[in-house]
Structure 1
Amino acid sequence: MNSSNSVSNVLNTGLNADISTADVNDKMGAKKIVKLYYLETKFEWLKSIRNPAFALPATLFPAIFYLFFGVLMNQHNPQAATFLLCTYGTFGVIGPALFSFGAGLAVERGQGWLDIKDASPMPSSAQIVSRLIVSMGFSLIVLVTLGFVAFGLTDVSLSLAQILQLSGILIIGALPFCLLGLTLGLLLKAQSAPAVVNVIYLPLSFLSGLWVPISMLPTYLQSFAHFLPPYHLSQLALKVVGLDAGGSVAQHLLVLVVFSVLFFITAVLAFKKKSA
């Protein structure tokens, strides 16, 4: 009986040891994966912030546009300055999303970096997550820069709750444009990607009423804007300050979700085409 109990104890001890070892290995594996994501994000951020061709236009152009239209032309018109703060904020967060994923990914794909990363043990999703975080980081810089200009040089007045709500809507609302950029980055050639992204980005912003109020556009263009995702993101932002053109929050969210799903599907198809 004692011998049987001893064997049982040994087996149980061994089993518990195996379970403990498996738990430790799982934890170590999870830590390594988290570290891989962290390192990829860190170096993606350093690469982007040290690239003046990307960092300077992404962070300064929205503030420069706002300086002309929101400050010089509407300095003593707080309603107009607030309206343009929301629309140029929308314009500002779309840029990093499109260029980080679109132009940046296409250039790296053309240089063969994506093939090297695919051959490494790094999870392929780390490339996407790192660019998403970097895009959100640049969006935050854009909004802070716009805020300094708006609150320092105009009569714009927003509560802390409005500032936080506006920032959250714009940063999270850039997701559909990250997915659009991902599709472009997987389809375009390195040489043509920056030009094509600009051809999409700038007219899309203008036609969505991000540069000038949509009411100043011809009637047929005003109707066309309702089919464009930047228009709906800007309307969600404008709802925070009570200057939107109408439509429910659910309606604007639905359009953005539909476009997100559409761009996600096109990105998956583009990835399969690249891998074929």
Structure 2
Amino acid sequence: MTSLALTHAKFQIIETARIPIALFGSAFFPSAAMLAFVVPFVGDNAEYATTATASMITFSVMSTNLFQYGVGVAEDRAQPWDPYVRTLPAGAGPRFAGRILAGLALMFVSLIPVILIATFLTEATVTPAAFLITAATTVVIAIPFILMGLAIGYSMPQKAAIVVAQLLFFPLAFLGGLMTGPGLAPGFVENLAPYLPTGGAARLMWAGVSDFPYDAGSIAALAGWTIALGWVAVWAYRRDEGRRFS
């Protein structure tokens, strides 16, 4: 199982590496936002720069997984290779695990430009302990967005998946408060953000890199979103399998 999952992950990464623009696109928006808004406006303030960088990392995690899984899975389903692989004796588990491992690896690669910009062009700073906590938190907050992408990818054709992913990622970023620091968003965003997956994820990241308190309400909401999106992803997968293989 582990060997097969790693093999699938390896080939997923190789396949993506053959089209570098796919990875470039995932890193572009958060990096551009860092250069356009964070560096010139709060780059010289260590506290604001640190939390803003955490917001941009959350933005990158969300957009990377939304497109990597939402569009990538829908694209794979349109290829003749996909139904063949899904009929092999190993089952869906190794390929599913391999896709998640590859997605996490590519996600961390897409975060490199954001981290480099924060390191060299701003006063953002974290302790070694906070860095490790934030790295672990990044994996945790990726889970609901992975599940969201899988739900889109397994329930929609490729053209529809692209549109839905594009329609979701910016509203989720804005309403989740990723475009501003803690307490700086408009009032309605501050009230709504803790109950959205992006807002809950951002608050976990802010707590990891700064003195921002852990918010039990937003953590519970994020856990609820994770469970709900997991259910939808499993339902979409079984629905697709029933339609294509029954």
Residue 275 of structure 1 aligns with which residue? Answer: 241
1:243 deviation in Å?
5.0
Structure 2 Cα separation of the partners of residues 235 and 267 of structure 1: 25
**2:123 is the counterpart of 1:155:** yes
Counterpart selection for 1:259 from 225, 232, 240:
225
Output aligned runs, 1:62-211, within 5 Å.
62-211=30-179
**Alpha-carbon distance in structure 2 between the residues aligned to 1:49 and 1:243:** 38
Partners of 2:110 and 2:206 in 1: CA distance: 17
Aligned to 2:192: 224
Larger relative contact order (CA 8 Å, sep ≥ 6): 2
Assess if the C-alpha contact under 8 Å between 2:48 and 2:181 holds in 1: no
Alpha-carbon offset, residue 225 of structure 1:
1.6
Answering whether residue 3 of structure 2 is matched by residue 35 of structure 1, we say yes
Shift of residue 190, structure 1, vs aligned partner: 0.9
3-state SS of paired residue (1:73): helix
Q: Which shifted more, 203-212 or 63-72?
A: 63-72
C-alpha separation in 1, matches of 2:17 and 2:110: 13
% of aligned pairs identical?
24
Of 228, 240, 245, 2:208 maps to 240
Secondary structure of 1:158's partner? coil
Q: Is the 8 A contact 1:187 1:270 kept in 2?
A: yes
- Equivalent AA in structure 1 for residue 225 of structure 2: F
Larger mean Cα displacement after TM superposition, 33-42 or 212-221: 212-221
Structure 1 residue 56, shift from structure 2 partner? 0.6
DSSP-derived class of the 1:177 partner: helix
Per-residue deviation, 1:216: 4.3
Change (3 A) 1:266 1:91: same
TM-score (norm 2): 0.90
Cα distance between partner residues in 1 of 2:110 and 2:75: 24
Check the 8 A contact 2:134/2:205 in 1, yes or no: yes
Post-superposition shift, 1:116?
A: 1.5
Residue 25 of structure 2 corresponds to which residue in structure 1? 57
Structure 2 equivalent of residue 48 of structure 1: 16
Does the aligned pair in 2 maintain the 1:143–1:167 contact within 8 Å? no
Amino acid paired to 1:263: L
The alpha carbon displacement at 1:214 in A equals: 6.2
Instruction: Give distance in 2, aligned partners of 1:68 and 1:35.
Output: 43
Q: CA RMSD in A?
A: 1.9
Partner SS state of residue 210, structure 1 = coil
Greater alpha carbon shift after TM alignment, 90-99 vs 117-126: 117-126
Q: Which runs of 5+ in 1 are unaligned?
A: 1-32
What SS class does the counterpart of residue 213 from structure 1 fall into?
A: coil
Which amino acid is the alignment partner of residue 79 of structure 2? Q
For the 8 Å contact 1:82–1:156, the answer to whether it is kept is yes
Equivalent residue letter for 2:101 = I
Are the aligned partners of 1:62 and 1:142 in contact in 2 as well (CA < 8 Å)? no
The answer to whether the 8 Å contact 1:102/1:193 transfers is: yes
Shift of 1:50: 2.2
TM-score, normalised relative to structure 1: 0.81
Q: SS at 1:155's partner residue?
A: coil
Q: Which has the larger radius of gyration?
A: 1
